[in-house]
Chains A and B, each alone.
Chain A
Amino acid sequence: MNDPGTEPRIAHLAANDFPELAKRALDDSTLRGALHHVTDLFGDKRENAVAAMPEWEAMRERARRVKEETLSRLDHYLEEFVRNAEAAGVHVHFARDAAEACSAVEKLAQRFGAQTIAKSKSMTTEEIGLNHVLEDAGLEPVETDLGEWIIQLAGETPSHIIAPAIHKTRGQIADLFADELEVERTDDVQELCSIARRFLRKSFADADLGISGVNFAIAETGSFLVLENEGNARLSTSMPRRHLGVMGIEKLIPRFEDLEVFLRLLPRSGTGQHLTSYQSIFTGPKASPDDEGPDEVHVLILDNGRSALLGDWVTRQSLGCIRCGACLNVCPVYKQVGGHAYGSVYPGPIGAVITPQLAGVEKAKTLPFASSLCGACRDVCPVKIDIPRLLLHLRGKIVTGDGPPHVGRETRKGRFLERMTFRAWAWWMSGARRYRVAGWFARKLQPLGARPGLVQRVARKLSPPLGAWTAGRELRPAAPRSFRELWREQEGSR
């Protein structure tokens, strides 16, 4: 259970619109072309990187154990982290939910008299919708990761955990820059990058506060880490006089030496890189005025529904996620519909388990069903999260709950019918005689349903699943005689 009075929330949540959003995505051929290209590219790069490491499976197992060790004693490691961070001069803040976190950051920014805020990519600040809160308070948060900056200019949410603008083509970005920045339109990649650089450099210099995410926080030393490829996180955490890192409670690892396995797993899983271009480790502010770096370092530790998952080993697994995005790139559903269809800043297989668990199953009950349970996500997860098992766990919670139907096209009646169908099915399937009789009846009735025209239309109307199947596929009819009939005959004559 969550603390009373807290309200875990994911910003811009529209997860229950998955059915409509997915259909819209399927009709967008530009989006699907971009998606196939990028997910295949990341997927192939990951595969090559993994193939070059014979110890990959052993590393995954080690990472899983470190996460399980941390999460099963999280209170202990949190206390240790806070103690050591404070000893290093870091100001530590806690927030129980998204609203508390946003208001804490807003107050800090106001205390610093900050106007421009340089932000480096952070899923946690996307989760809590920090930018909107800061903008409403009259401040200017500027996303400095290229992909994040593009979607900030476009007023969108990320569609991939590590490549937030994966859904945008070069042409669309050229148009966006021309419209929003009033520059001459170009679709030359070098020029687009130099436009971005020109605008972003100014923000680093102007910023009074830099906000980053946190990839890992080390209990033993009170340090925290940011991994990135563009150097923007390094700049936004070193040029402004204050640096604030925002992290979920699950980002902890116990020891500095545990980093080794994660620093090898994360980049290979995400982009296929052996190492990200930059790894910045922060342990407190600068020690003397002559040193480089910020005068003040703050860290905000966020719960937002996470602690409610700690009690059970099945649900706890989802807190092991290191946000590498590998499961998105191999997911056959994500590859077709992209991130925005999930209606959550956390899309794909991991999003389908994190979103309902953080925001509440009622608010994201379509997502656990948006999977064929193929298991490709489980195979690539660097910390071995059993995502299919979590999806099944959530499906069970949803179908036995009393909430409204879980799929957009379904009505309350449809939900009732599904439950009754499975109840009847279980009765039929738990006795061989009644199963045989049901099969016999189905065969006798089948010619009616197969007859084209009115009867078929009525059959489809009475059975929405039948209509859903036949919209894109032919239906395999029941065989004239069942296997067991044929077997009896064959064996009788042997």
Chain B
Amino acid sequence: MLSRVAEHIYWLARYAERAENTARLINVNTHLQLDLPKHLRPGWKPLITITGCEDPFLRRAMEANEKNVVRFLIGDFENPSSIIQSLKWARENGRTVRDFFPRDGWEQINNLYRIASAEIYLGISPRGRYNYLKQVILGVQALSGMLSGTMSHDEGYTFLLLGRYLERADMTTRIVDVLSTHLEEQSGDIEYYEGALWMNLLESLSGYQMYRRVMQQAPDWDPVISFLFRNREFPRSFRYCLGELAGAVAPLRNNERVKERIERLEELIGEFDPDRVSGSDLHQLIDDLQRMLGEIHNEIGIAWFNYPLPEESQRQAS
């Protein structure tokens, strides 16, 4: 399999997953706005920070109000991680490997982009937003299902899994970050609302039912964080994603360094005890997890996509 093709498939999966998770992220924040009294609402600025796109947003020189932020996250082509831009890049990567990809898979991503870009205006309007985001989420899910059911589970598929689960693991930490950061910054009567907020978070990850079946306690800080980080069965939990990554790289050759990085993360998550973690420690943990995921990405590139070794790139830079 060509390195270039492997890399395009990997990015296709990452971008598709990013589009879905950005949709989920907007859902979480929308619920926060609706469920909290005015003085406790987080507003929309945190979403910009959490998706790591402060710079392009600053360039827009806009007030971080609902309309602007939602438009920026859904339909802004200048924002590299907006839903529309993610779908566009997923489609472009798909187009580049069209020969490799099952036809139905291509039609799915092509159509999803076509419809999502034609209906941006619906996504921005408060009434159309839920349906729009749901359409994006279902569209990406349909793509995954179709590929799972029609694409040979060979090396190409492995790179699809690597892209998907790396991105998903990262985005799950970001989604948790939205709520935990907000809770930590508030005090007093927000506790009254906390249960409902955690429940919404789970809903936005399609995880409320699964959570109830596993945890048998009302949604709250410790159990929800434990569920989303440490549960091995729920497909959007961090640890589940790690398991998928480990399984995907296992049959590949030259996998030693990537495997080692995944094991290190697994260890970190195994030692992590949500019962005693404070808000700032959680924040620190999330930063560490994201950084280590970035390292895994680099190692994947070095092992299979012809990325230069770190020493080489330093030499090239100097």
Question: Is the A/B pair a real complex?
Answer: no
